[in-house]
Structure 1
Amino acid sequence: MERVNTFANIPILVVDSTPVDNLVLAKTLLNEIHNMLSNLLDTGETGVLDLRALPSLGEEGYQFLKNQLGTGEVSARIQSFGHSEIQETAFSGIWWVSHFNQDDDIYTEQIEISFFPEILKSHKDDVVLSRSTLGNLLKTLAEQ
């Protein structure tokens, strides 16, 4: 005799689908940042959290995260096709990086865990060009 499964006796768990508390999500992100900072120290591996790609923190969670990380001593601004702002947090190795479009709207916001923000590193091709340009300047100055 063939057995027919009617699913009548299978228990069903109803999960509350209310949104995650914004502060719980922000605290979870702080734990992840701590783990990434430990990984940076242990292995040298950098990491990035893209805040725009994560579930919405909401304004409350965003401000909580921003306040907990605080502001450090180092900041930089890059002007290129819009601009980017890089701000060290109160914790060395944790950087708040914001990229803006030409209309000054934020289009990417990241927390970067690294010894030095990747966006601030000079590209090798640029350094090669700088060496050549400076060499030419030195030749010109020597001829004067």
Structure 2
Amino acid sequence: MTMLEQHSPVATENARPVSPFDDPECGYLQMPRGMQTFSMPITGGIPASRAGIAVLRQLAECLTAELNGIDSDRIDLDSYDEETGRFLDQVLGDGEVSALVDIPDVRWAIRESVFIGVWRLREFRPGEPARDYLEVGSVPAVLRQAGRYTSGVERPQSFPEGLMNAPSLLVEVFAKSAAFEEGQSEVINLSLLPMTENDLAYLVDVLGLAGVSILSKGYGDCRIRLTGLPNVWWVQYFNASDQMILNTLEITPIPQAAQATREDLEDSLQRIRELLALLKAS
């Protein structure tokens, strides 16, 4: 259901420049490739159940509510029969964004559907059956609140020798996290700073991780990890060769790269309406 089965490590090594064959002295970073595009789900192999079509209508209503500034309810999938489940699996498909949230006593596996802004979540709690439901919005509620999670990291009182800019950067990041106010958003582009691999490794070690991972597969991969500080995220972009080409720290409740836009929601509403019309005609 989700591309993320476990949390991936935070990268500390930048991509090596490549040179075009006609100018060996001109080095550049290889850019991501392989953008996915939407294709209407194929529904011919599995019969459409009335319950499945009702879920699609609910999704259209939820998207309309979200676009009008009204919070929509989630759609519980646990009560549907196996045939409806197969139909919804085929229709919703797998989108470009997946996430994994591990906090004490609960784990969420999250996957965006092919309809951007329509999210499928599976919730796991010890001793309880897994829960399966849909949410509509820029991000699911559990991710919208994720920036508040923390693993309780402490600001170092001294630093090892051999570091360049990590000490001053850590002072800045700890201060910005402590002073964070709702609505703020700031990006620290580590790729533009003179940082050694030792600096980056030390930042990863000190900031720690808080059990939230997001993977967005657009042009290449964007891997997002919540640090142990509230509202401080690693956001790293990788090319087709899995080499890091952009490394940032974002101080924000949830990075923009993980969110669906209003235009995405409008497009998904239109496509669901088209799918409902197609099912009605078939």
Shorter-chain TM-score: what band? 0.7 to 0.9
Is 2:194 aligned against 1:55?
A: yes
In the TM superposition, residue 44 of structure 1 has moved relative to its aligned partner by 2.6
Is 2:234 aligned against 1:96?
A: yes
Residue 66 of structure 1, aligned match among 204, 226, 237: 204
- Whether the 8 Å CA contact 1:85–1:98 is kept in 2: the answer is yes
Partner of 2:250: 112
- Cα distance in 1 for partners of 2:194, 2:263 equals 37
Partner of 2:175: 35
- Cα distance in 1 for partners of 2:238, 2:200 equals 18
In the TM superposition, residue 125 of structure 1 has moved relative to its aligned partner by 1.6
Larger RCO of the pair (alpha carbons < 8 Å, separation 6+): 2
- Whether the 8 Å CA contact 2:232–2:251 is kept in 1: the answer is yes
After superposition, the C-alpha distances for 1:32-64 in whole angstroms (9 at most, x for unaligned) are 1123224432x63211111111122x2222111
2:230 is paired with a residue whose SS is coil
Partner of 1:46: 185
After superposition, the C-alpha distances for 1:77-115 in whole angstroms (9 at most, x for unaligned) are 111221111111122311101101122211100000100
Using structure 1 for the length normalisation, give the TM-score.
0.74
1:73 is paired with a residue whose SS is strand
- Cα distance in 2 for partners of 1:22, 1:136 equals 60
1:135 is paired with a residue whose SS is helix
Partner of 1:128: 266
2:191 is paired with a residue whose SS is coil
Indicate the RMSD between aligned Cα atoms, in angstroms. 2.0
Number of matched pairs: 122
